[in-house]
Amino acid sequence: MSASTAEKSYTSGARILAIGIGVTGLVTYAYFALASHALSDDDYGRISLLWSAIFITVSVLYRPVEQLLSRTIADREARGLTGSHHLRVAATIQLALGVVFVIGALIFRGPLQDDLLGGSQTLYWILIVSVLAYAASYFARGYLAGHRWFTLYGLLVFFEACARVMFAVLAVVGVASGESFVAMGMAAAPIVSLAVVPWALTRHVRATSDVSPEAASELASELDSATADEPTAEAEFTLAHGAGFAGAVLMIMIAEQTFLNAGPLLLKATTDVGGVALAGFAFNVLLIARAPLQLFQAIQTSILPSLTKAHAGGQKEEFRRAINITLAAIAGFAACVSLAMLALGPWLMDLFFGSEFDYDRGGLVLVSIGMGLYLAAATLNQASLARGRAPQAAACWLGAALVFVVVLVGWEWDDRILQVEVAYLSGALLLCGLLYGLYRAGSRSAPGR
């Protein structure tokens, strides 16, 4: 593949996803904006805590399998390998993780239901159903990303967001009311998103049936020759291999969710009075960092299979160009968001979430800068995963997450929201520096597998 073709493939995939996921980000933002108007401060606080608990759990448990599938499918395609053993391995890992979650949720039902969710049995079961439904949704995401079926991927997350926001819309217009009804959207969303799966299966069957007998015979001969030259290629993807990669990514996801969602939870746990409302306030502030991640999913989803194919083929220039394009786009985006927060930040936050809290302009800018550093770090992380350096990347993430937690809870500031903002910026800065060092070290090493 030429450099121009590789670049066109990557940017085209990112552009297609950006349309669907960009709209998805706005719809997700609307869900919380509507919920904040439809519910009391405490009810909205519990909704935000439920969301944090769900997405900490599903991101930690299931995104490793999504990344595993995305990388493995692209790598096998680049090397001309066929078969479905890698899918069975990934499904086994996903099923095991789902079972672990159910067991843990039942064991810790008391703390989850009573301490986290205010004693609501309904919210507790919404948590259970949502997390289990996302197991299938994230498996489908990895499968679609690995095959670079980005239109279907965009539709999946778009259907998910639309299903969720409808519950908040109905609550605002008065058709229904209460935190339980609004929360039900979180359980319905991943189930509705699976509507794209029949389309994906149809596309797979059509693509398989389009191969002529002559082409299939030629491909078989090529694969036999490749297997003779590299006898361990097909057998390389074992359960131990897949679990090792997924385990390292799981550590990355734990650190990632510490950055994105642990702030409100830690504030609630360490604040004696008004902890739930303060958690909701912190959640709103960190949405500046979290909401762009919906858009960044377009980049993150398309860049991993692209980088994996470039690395497997020894195309160092294409690999470097994809990273540079992404980092430049992130820098421009972060600069625009920071300037917008400097000029209009408090007014925009009051507009979307009401004026119950005073949003500090400087703190919003700090979160915006941290968001840019975090997105850059996430891009460099994909480069490490594509190169098979998941364990080293995990070490960088865990170290930066530890700094975030220490700054947040090591001592209590008078302004707890400012403390969250400074902790986020500090952790993101360290994370970006560590992963950039790992990226440079990988660039100096020999290409290939």
Position 235 scores a pLDDT of 43
Residues 279 and 43 sit within 8 Å (Cβ to Cβ)? no
pLDDT > 90? residue 130: yes
pLDDT tens by residue, 98-119: 999 999 999 999 999 998 888 8
Confidence band of 233 (pLDDT split at 50, 70, 90): very low
Of residues 422 and 79, the one with the higher pLDDT is 422
Q: Which two tokens stand for residue 51?
A: 């969301």
Which DSSP string do the residues of 3-49 spell out, in sequence order? HHHHHHHHHHHHHHHHHHHHHHHHHHHHHHHHHHHHS-HHHHHHHHH
Residues 386 and 251 sit within 8 Å (Cβ to Cβ)? no
Give the best-scoring range by mean pLDDT among 16-20, 39-43, 141-145.
141-145
pLDDT > 60? residue 418: yes
Residues 383 and 318 sit within 8 Å (Cβ to Cβ)? no
Reduced to 3 states (helix: H, G, I; strand: E, B; else coil), residue 255 is helix
Confidence band of 24 (pLDDT split at 50, 70, 90): confident
Stretch 130-141: mean pLDDT: 93
Stretch 178-188: mean pLDDT: 91
Stretch 190-208: mean pLDDT: 76
Q: Residue 155 contacts by C-beta under 8 Å, 6 or more apart in sequence?
A: 20, 196, 199
Going by the DSSP 8-state scheme, the letter that residue 446 receives in this structure is P
In a domain, residue 187? The reply is yes
Question: How much of the chain exceeds pLDDT 70, in percent?
Answer: 82
Selection from 135, 397, 103, 87 nearest residue 249 by Cα: 397
pLDDT > 50? residue 45: yes
pLDDT > 70? residue 2: no
Q: How many CB atoms lie within 10 A of CB 112?
A: 19
Going by the DSSP 8-state scheme, the letter that residue 392 receives in this structure is H
Burial class (CB in 10 A: 0-12, 13-18, 19+), 244: middle
In a domain, residue 372? The reply is yes
Radius of gyration over every alpha carbon of the chain, rounded to an integer in angstroms = 22
Position 288 scores a pLDDT of 78
pLDDT > 80? residue 93: yes
In a domain, residue 420? The reply is yes
Of residues 433 and 344, the one with the higher pLDDT is 433
pLDDT > 90? residue 132: yes
Amino acid at 209: S
- Cα-Cα-Cα-Cα torsion 142, 145, 147, 148, nearest 10 degrees, comes to 180
Tell me which residue range forms the domain holding 135: 3-444
CA 288 – CA 26 distance, rounded (Å):
12
pLDDT tens by residue, 394-417: 999 999 999 999 988 888 787 888
Q: Report long-range pairs for 299-302 (Cβ below 8 Å, ≥24 apart).
A: 299/14, 299/17, 299/18, 299/326, 299/329, 299/379, 300/378, 300/379, 300/382, 301/13, 301/17, 301/70, 301/141, 301/145, 301/150, 301/153, 302/10, 302/13, 302/14, 302/17, 302/145, 302/148, 302/150
Report the chain's terminal Cα–Cα distance, integer Å. Answer: 18
Q: Is 184 left (phi over 0), alpha (psi -120 to 50) or beta?
A: alpha
In a domain, residue 222? The reply is yes
pLDDT tens by residue, 67-89: 889 888 888 877 777 777 788 88
Number of structural domains found in the chain: 1
pLDDT > 70? residue 224: no
In a domain, residue 440? The reply is yes
Give the best-scoring range by mean pLDDT among 167-181, 197-211, 357-371, 425-439.
425-439
Q: Which two tokens stand for residue 158?
A: 């778009």
Stretch 332-346: mean pLDDT: 89
In a domain, residue 183? The reply is yes
Stretch 229-240: mean pLDDT: 51
Give the best-scoring range by mean pLDDT among 13-22, 174-183, 213-222, 384-393.
384-393
Position 264 scores a pLDDT of 80
pLDDT > 60? residue 226: no
CA 74 – CA 309 distance, rounded (Å):
6
Position 234 scores a pLDDT of 41
CA 333 – CA 151 distance, rounded (Å):
23
In a domain, residue 449? The reply is no
In a domain, residue 279? The reply is yes
Of residues 321 and 219, the one with the higher pLDDT is 321
CA 411 – CA 413 distance, rounded (Å):
7
What is the pLDDT of the chain when averaged over all its residues?
A: 81
